[in-house]
Structure 1
């Protein structure tokens, strides 16, 4: 009985490689004919009104605002609705936008007087990380964040609120930074 001829191994490898290449080519051509995902271009829109949601934390700008003092402090800009946490070397370490209350402190220098871990805000929202630094229109003014991370509801007609509401992560950062005696500079 005759012995069948065997193909050399290089022939098997070459045949399998050619087959795999052909299969990948066919699949690539089919994929090229199918739907292609697209990414929508989204351009950021600046917040122009007091009722618009502030943006999440952003890296600190190159410079802390001029006229905001020196040394370790918190800078609060009434016009920009923005806070900077500034270290002892005058470098901004964190900045973020806020939702101001209806009562605003006058521009000037203040000191953190007291801190409260949690309470109910004058708007009825459970808040935490409360850091008080001023009195305006007969109400205490301070930074805080909602326990559930929500933005504050619109104040009731005629209500005076002194809470400067922060995003939850920013509230935790202020709580850690703003020990009793920390300076707060309020600027226009």
Structure 2
């Protein structure tokens, strides 16, 4: 009896290792090719000389809002429908447009609370690189990108919390905003 039990345990162990290996492969297939370098296509860099509230007419880029504080952070400007990924001093921030959700967070400072590689959004759309940072009216608020690449205006009759961005921008957000990262929401 002992010999057959050890054979069953060995078989179950081998099956479990195979399953873990398969899941690891699937997870790695969804990771951006280069986590260290931001994507070249999604963002426009803002120069330190730009005014905090206006566009730089020569580059068409917006400067990081002055009221967003200092340090490494994600800045989400509700009125501009724009996000900045602000790194270490000396690094140029990345900025890109977003499509706000129907439920918006109030201005303030938050921390990334959780992340998901791929899920179905509250609007039924398949999304990836979900970076959540708060809850408002029982709705989870976070950044994400639709797998199909769309940034559709959400149905105003539905409470949604997904701040959508292009896939390349979602990749940059995923690499930048890990759990605990600072998120500053400005008007």
Aligned residue in 2 for 1:132: 132
Aligned residue in 2 for 1:151: 151
Q: What TM-score do the two structures reach when normalised by structure 1?
A: 0.66
Moved more, 87-96 or 75-84: 87-96
Question: 1:158: how far off?
Answer: 2.3
Give the total of aligned pairs.
132
Q: Runs of 5+ in structure 1 lacking a partner?
A: 1-55
Task: Name the SS of the counterpart of 1:75 in structure 2.
Answer: strand
Aligned residue in 2 for 1:184: 183
Task: Name the SS of the counterpart of 1:129 in structure 2.
Answer: strand
Question: 1:161: how far off?
Answer: 0.4
> Segments of 4+ in structure 1 off by > 4 A?
none
The answer to whether the 8 A contact 1:110-1:183 is kept is yes
Q: Aligned pair 1:59/2:44, yes or no?
A: yes
The answer to whether the 8 A contact 1:144-1:171 is kept is yes
Q: Runs of 5+ in structure 2 lacking a partner?
A: 1-40, 49-63
Counterpart Cα distance in 1 of 2:67 and 2:102: 24
Task: Name the SS of the counterpart of 1:67 in structure 2.
Answer: helix
CA RMSD of aligned residues (A): 1.6
Alpha carbons of structure 1 residues 153 and 65: separation in structure 2 relative to 1, 3 Å = closer
The answer to whether the 8 A contact 2:99-2:153 is kept is no
The answer to whether the 8 A contact 1:127-1:147 is kept is yes
Q: What TM-score do the two structures reach when normalised by structure 2?
A: 0.67
Aligned residue in 2 for 1:174: 173
The answer to whether the 8 A contact 2:107-2:186 is kept is yes
Counterpart Cα distance in 1 of 2:178 and 2:172: 11
Structure number with larger C-alpha Rg: 1
The answer to whether the 8 A contact 1:60-1:95 is kept is yes
Counterpart Cα distance in 1 of 2:67 and 2:114: 25
Counterpart Cα distance in 2 of 1:99 and 1:86: 19
Question: 1:86: how far off?
Answer: 0.2
Aligned residue in 2 for 1:24: none
Question: 1:151: how far off?
Answer: 1.9
